[in-house]
Structure 1
Amino acid sequence: MQSDRPIFVIGCPRSGTTMLQLMLHSHARIAVPPETRFVVPGYYRRFSFGDLRQEANRRRLGRWIAGGKDTKFKELKLDADRFVEDVVAGPPTLGSAFGIAFRSYAARYGKPRWGDKRPSYYHHVDMLLRLFPDAQFVHLIRDGRDCVASLKEMPWYTKDVFHAVNNWAEAIDFGRRHARRLPAGSYYELRYENLTADPETELSKLCAYLGEDYDPAMTEPYHVARMAIPQHKVWHGNTHGEVTTARSGSWRKRLEPWEIALCETVLAERLTSLGYELTGAPEADKAHVAAVEAVAAKRRRARRRQEVRDRINRFRESGPVAAQLTTGQLGEPVRV
């Protein structure tokens, strides 16, 4: 039996996750849509929908997913009314409603398996496992200096370089934690640099982890970029061409000397443990290091508050939240 486990692509923003999304979407059995952004906000507002064992509440949830101004459901190009009725007729859990959306998207392409990509999901792996207990995670890692350099240039990234450094550090730290805690066959890491240098080898290994046969179409993701990447996301322009190593190491020209020093001072252990060489830049200014540490402390406090609230809120849940759609979710053995 072939696997039907959900696939989640995670990683620091600007680490190549959109390229990997397209590679997976190019597989004959897997569909991965553009970022939809209804899973995390839907989970946190789950109590507003009421007890999903009641049909009216499932309808309310379905309508929010399909019509919420921030959910980006429209990117799936599904019939909203049909989707709502599918949610009403489906299992009475939050994860099932989300899973029906992705399953319906995959069905558009005649594919039996779906995935989802959002870099910030690395913050929410525990949540995603509550919703999809049989999920598989693919963590794409890129040189932190390249991620910082790219984040600085994004029109949607309004924070400073100190936040950007923290973004990458958090992604690596969360990845290490998940690698230790998740069951075998649930977490996989690969490097952007290896993936772009030898796509066939790296994608073959990835497919083996996913329980899929390798599909050569995955090495030419630009074929699906036009239909799988919204036109307004002009910062993904590189995905419309062939896979290339040209951007690897481009931080040398895109970062200021003090920014290189900051990255290598704060991220040195993480970079070297992942095989990235340091330039030997001088120690960063103490004020810059302190700024990174202040941002990190603020972000940790915010996460802890959110985690405490969520643990408390779980006692209020009227029933299970986990999806009840796939072989593994229904309690049957999962093929690894």
Structure 2
Amino acid sequence: MQSDRPVFVIGCPRSGTTMLQLMLHSHPRIAVPPETRFLVPAYFSRRMYGDMRLAENRRTLANWIATGRNTKFRELGLDEAEFVQSAMLGPGSFGSVVGMVFKSYAERFGKPRWGDKRPSYYRHVEMIMRMFPDAQFINLVRDGRDCVASLKEMPWYKPDSVHAMANWAEAIDFGERNARKLPADTFYQLRYEDLTADPETELKKLCAFIGEDFDPAMCEPRHIAEVAVPKHKVWHNNTHGEVTTAHAGRWSTRLEPWEIALCEEVLGDRLIANGYELSGAPRAERQHVIAFKAAAGKRRTARLRKYNRDRFTRLREPGPLAALLTEGQRRLAGLPQQRNRELVIR
């Protein structure tokens, strides 16, 4: 039987996750939407919506997903009323309502398998597994110096390059932790540089991991970019061209000398561990190292504060969390196989 496990693309921002999302979306059986922005805030606000075994609560959550100002639902090309109805008629669990968006998106393209992409999910793997216990994660790693160089030029990235370095370090550390903790069939890591240098080889290995046959269309994601990349996201313009190695190593001309020095001092061990060579830059100035440590500490404190608040919610969950939309999810819940078209009624 072919797999229907959901697939999540994660990694530091500007690591090439949109390119990888489009490669997966180019597969005839898989649909991965552009960033939706509702999964994490919905989870941390789940007490507001109550027990999802009640249809009216499912309606309330689905309405927020469909109409919320920051959820990006409108970019998915789905009918709002149909989605809300599907959520109400679907299984009574929090993950089922959230996952119904991705399932509906996949049905829009006539595909049986769905997923999601958001770089910052690397911090929320445990949370996602609570909602989708059969999930698979693909962690994309890129040279941290290139990530920093790209992040500092993004119109939506407000922190400075020092915070961008702390972001990359955090993503790498979470990747190592997830690789240690998760089963081999749940977590897969690959490098952006390898993927762009030899897409076919890397995508064949990736397809083996997710349990799908390789399709050559995956190597040419530009064809699907016209449909799957929102027009206003001009920073994803590169996805409309050929897969290329031209963007690797551009940090050497895009970063200031002090930024290169700081990257190689505070990220050096992580860079080397992931197969990246250092340039031999001089030692970073002390105030820059202190600034990096402060930025990393600030990120860690904010993350722990949010997780500690969530621990109290976990003591008294408002209702069932795990989705019941795939065969794997239903099997883990001890439920029988679903009949065709059981969950979505048109």
| Helix, strand or coil at the partner of 1:153 | coil
* 2:226 aligned partner: 226
Cα distance in 2 between the residues matched to 1:234 and 1:275: 30
1:1-336 maps to which residues of 2 (within 5 A)?
A: 1-331=1-331
Cα distance in 1 between the residues matched to 2:123 and 2:131: 14
Give the superposition deviation at 1:317.
1.2
How many pairs were matched up? 333
1:258 is matched by which residue type in structure 2? W
Give the superposition deviation at 1:316.
2.3
Cα distance in 1 between the residues matched to 2:299 and 2:332: 39
Cα distance in 2 between the residues matched to 1:155 and 1:318: 38
Q: CA RMSD in A?
A: 1.0
Confirm or deny: 8 A CA contact 2:35 2:72 kept in the other structure: yes
2:135 is matched by which residue type in structure 1? A
Could you give the per-residue CA deviations for residues 91-112 of structure 1, whole angstroms, max 9, x where no partner exists?
1111101111100100111100
| Helix, strand or coil at the partner of 1:126 | helix
Bigger Cα displacement from structure 2, 113-122 vs 45-54: 45-54
| Helix, strand or coil at the partner of 1:331 | helix
| Helix, strand or coil at the partner of 1:328 | helix
Runs (4+) off by over 4 Å: none
Could you give the per-residue CA deviations for residues 262-318 of structure 1, whole angstroms, max 9, x where no partner exists?
000000100001110001101100100000001111111111111111111112213
Give the superposition deviation at 1:184.
2.3
Could you give the per-residue CA deviations for residues 144-185 of structure 1, whole angstroms, max 9, x where no partner exists?
000000001001111111100011000000000000001220
Cα distance in 2 between the residues matched to 1:295 and 1:196: 31
| Helix, strand or coil at the partner of 1:232 | coil
Change (3 A) 1:332 1:48: closer
Q: Could you state the TM-score of these two structures normalised by the residue count of structure 1?
A: 0.98
Give the superposition deviation at 1:332.
5.3
1:88 is matched by which residue type in structure 2? M
| Helix, strand or coil at the partner of 1:115 | strand
Q: Could you state the TM-score of these two structures normalised by the residue count of structure 2?
A: 0.95
Identity %: 67
Q: Where does structure 2 lack aligned partners over 5 or more consecutive residues?
A: 334-346
2:216 is matched by which residue type in structure 1? P
